[in-house]
Structure 1
Amino acid sequence: MKSELTLHISERTLFAEGDAFGETGTYERIKGRVCYAVDPQEEAFSRITDLDKAPTNEKGLVEYSTDFLILKPQNPKKGNRRLFFDWGNRGNIRCLQFFNDALASNDPKTREHAGNGFLFRRGYTLVFAGWQGDLLAGDGRFLMDLPVASNHGISITGQVRSEFILEESGITTQPLSGWANTRSHPTVSLDTNQASLTRRLYADASREEIPSDQWMFARDEGGSGLDGVSKQTAIVPSDTNIYLPGGFE
């Protein structure tokens, strides 16, 4: 059985307003969605965790998809025949900032987004795609849709460890993932007696356990009252957030 890959192109336009980059000339941008269907029995995919527990289509293939963007020489013969794949950072484009001193953008279009043109003058084809399946939408991040593994239709549960590192005081709520842009694994129970929360001052310091009655699986919501003046807050039970009344230190 062979794996499949399908490109769905939603946009194909000139990049950087048609400006030329040295001998390489003009670039074009190709944007869309790429859909994969892979054979879970293939040896190349054997190291993917729980792939054998993912749902399959009528061909027995596991389907998933991701956003993609390609910036390539409009005339391929003027390129250097090399592909630069930017893995990105949590769905964000980084290579144009690091190599081209360009303005940060997850949807580069303009001459300003090309920066000093370093990679383009040298004829590279740049490819950006999502690879992280737990990201949430926002800021133009490259997202990947992955199937949910199960044990013959039964949800797979297990111990999950998260670490919270805060740079300011007074914060009482955090997503379980530790990142606002990252999807959290929901807890199977809101009972804090079935979980543990510890804190430490340094990475190699001893952990101090916080009693289960001093924190909650919840989030702190706030807003103004009906009079538009008074401030109101509410502690809302949540299976994807942790609430520490005294604040994270």
Structure 2
Amino acid sequence: MKEFLEILKYESQEINTKFLRSSIEGKSTSQEVSDFREHAVQEFVQRYYPFPYRISKGGIYDSYGERSDSIDCLILNPNHPHTVNSHGKHSLIVADGVDVAMEVKPDISNKSELTRALVQGLSVKKLRRRVVNTVLEYDSEVLDISKRIPYFVFSMKAKASIQDTFEEIKQFYDKNDTPLVDQADVFVILNRGLIINYKHANLYPWNLELAPESKTKWYFEEWGEHTLAGLLFNLNRVYGAAPTIIDNYLKYYLMPGNVSFNALD
């Protein structure tokens, strides 16, 4: 839908402006700069996940006693308990109520920043949802994936060659011998596109005529100025914390019709 995509282009410009302004408004401390940038992403996500969804930040606990690092933007499913304290913050966030965890790392062309995002992702992927969608039990691999919380990284900048950024991601996972199921799911590079980890053929959303390579591998999808549409499209295709009764309609409004696909490995 042309009008929706145009709105998202302006949203992209607004986020970019907020990130630039954060360097001035939060110049007293690096934490203030980070806070401004996190809020920009949280505010965008909140518009497309309104109440009864909630957007929060913090560490996530699972029922097996594990805890993740603090994550910048968490989409809490309507089933999440309202554990909000007197300051308006969630005092407890539980894995079975988190749909998506998204970390804001503005510059993943910086290897140390990318590495921090990947380490935080491992802390999220070690968590396990106790209750999953029983419809998925026909495929043990997909069921295993659905027990993990989807992990996204939101950035403004990657290396000039996306392949070079992907090589650093791959090297990290190879060095740590990280199973596919515990790897990150999506890296968003604003106004460029998304690096996406398709972990199973059943999770692949595209017609093979558009992307004739194997369905299970890393891709760079070049969304360009429509990258926020790509982000929303992918947020709408993950396995959330609770099963949905009806198909999500938003994805049908998000296709610009000119997304290019490049296999990365």
TM-score w.r.t. the length of structure 2 is 0.25
Q: Which structure: greater strand fraction? A: 1
Which of structures 1 and 2 has the larger relative contact order (alpha carbons within 8 angstroms, sep 6+)? Answer: 2
Q: Which structure: greater helix fraction? A: 2
Computing the radius of gyration over CA atoms, which structure comes out larger, 1 or 2? Answer: 1
TM-score w.r.t. the length of structure 1 is 0.26
